Structure 1
């Protein structure tokens, strides 16, 4: 539990003091769920070649993504550097990026209200565009 607390408070969020013990306990319980243990999420890469394959910001297929894309990123993200957001924007023709200041990897948790408002607005705009397209 201490290792998880150190990781979440030290690496995933900008201000670790805001992560309650209850949140840590919830995350820990989720991590030991039998279904999660049986099929763990992405594991860290072994070696530089595997790490490069894991870097989704370099994927050449990104240029082919024509759909509007919203990327929300924390300026203090220690897991994925903020430069990754700009990298995605350079590679994707319809990519909007918003960087949240004083925010780490957990943008959706640290800045939940702003995150949710931006996602709802983005999806509503995309839905309106889809409806307009169908009328043509």
Structure 2
């Protein structure tokens, strides 16, 4: 299930019976970083540039969710929002973390939202970047990985959906995610993660409005105006629902604001987490 040559393979911990791959940097109050759901994604692939910056001030931890990256893919797994929330809590328990900041990207944002709504005592402050988690009209690129068959140039084309600057997609980024997408058993697992239509995939990650309105944690919403994967209206809706929320929109920025606007993104997040 793994290739020892991949930098996406880090440490491993048993989280509620699931061997969970993770990376970390720095020390201090923890920031748990939750990746998106694109083909070949892992915690490392998603956050490899962000983690060192967050790690200068906090204990930055990027985990691979069950079914993704190099964490276990149990053959009997019933993938769902409930399952992934339980995995996050099991991971925090295994790491001895009572409370953490959360940083979630897309799928990881929807997951961070659900963890916060269900386990508010385990969460301090939350950053949601290009997040799902509420109803929205899914654009074509939302399902761009459907039917993916491993090929380097197909992976490159997929990754270009995530950025405002297609030329910024490096060979390293393509190879990193392509390598993950070709590991044994990956394709069959990926097909099980989000079965059904685009609308069914979206609804599988929804937290009900009443639960979102009840969130008392401070939440920073960040979105790229030119996001072709999750429309900016999604963060605008979450901003209206979450009482203690702030919204920052980047112009000339796609789904990956942590890449397209890296320096400003990192400073926003660090300032938000570091407030007294």
Give yes or no for TM over 0.5: yes
In the TM superposition, what whole-angstrom CA distance separates every residue of 1:73-100 from its partner, at most 9, and x where no partner exists? 1111111001111011011111111111
- Match of 1:80, SS state, is coil
Q: Which has the higher contact order (CA 8 A, sep 6+)?
A: 1
Q: Are residues 1:7 and 2:172 paired?
A: no
Alignment of 1:1-136 (within 5 A): 1-9=152-160, 11-33=161-183, 40=190, 43-47=193-197, 50-51=200-201, 53-54=203-204, 56=206, 59-60=208-209, 61-125=211-275, 128=276
Q: Would the aligned equivalents of 1:71 and 1:85 in 2 still touch at CA under 8 Å?
A: yes
Q: Distance in 2 between matches of 1:28 and 1:88?
A: 33
> Shift of the alpha carbon at 1:50?
2.0
Q: How many residues align?
A: 124
Q: Quickly say closer, same or farther: Cα 1:39–1:117, change in 2 above 3 A.
A: farther
- Per-residue CA distance 1:48-68 (angstroms, 9 max, x = gap): 762452463x73211111100
Change in 2 beyond 3 A, CA 1:76/1:49: closer
Partner SS, residue 104 of structure 1:
coil
CA drift at 1:18: 1.3
**Distance in structure 2 (CA, Å) of the matches to 1:51 and 1:33:** 24
Which structure has the highest strand share of the two? 2
What SS is found at the alignment partner of 2:230? coil
Where does structure 1 lack aligned partners over 5 or more consecutive residues? 129-136
Aligned partners of 2:192, 2:235: CA distance in 1, in Å?
20
Per-residue deviation, residues 9-53 of structure 1 (Å, max 9, x unmatched)? 1x1101101111222112222333559668549844513762452
TM-score by length of 2: 0.40
Provide the C-alpha distance between the structure 2 equivalents of 1:16 and 1:123, rounded to a whole number of angstroms.
Answer: 30
Q: Given the superposition, is the C-alpha separation of residues 22 and 92 from structure 1 closer, same or farther in structure 2, using an over 3 Å criterion? A: same
Distance 1:87 1:41 in 2: 29
CA distance in 1, matches of 2:188, 2:231: 30
- Rg comparison, structure with higher value: 1
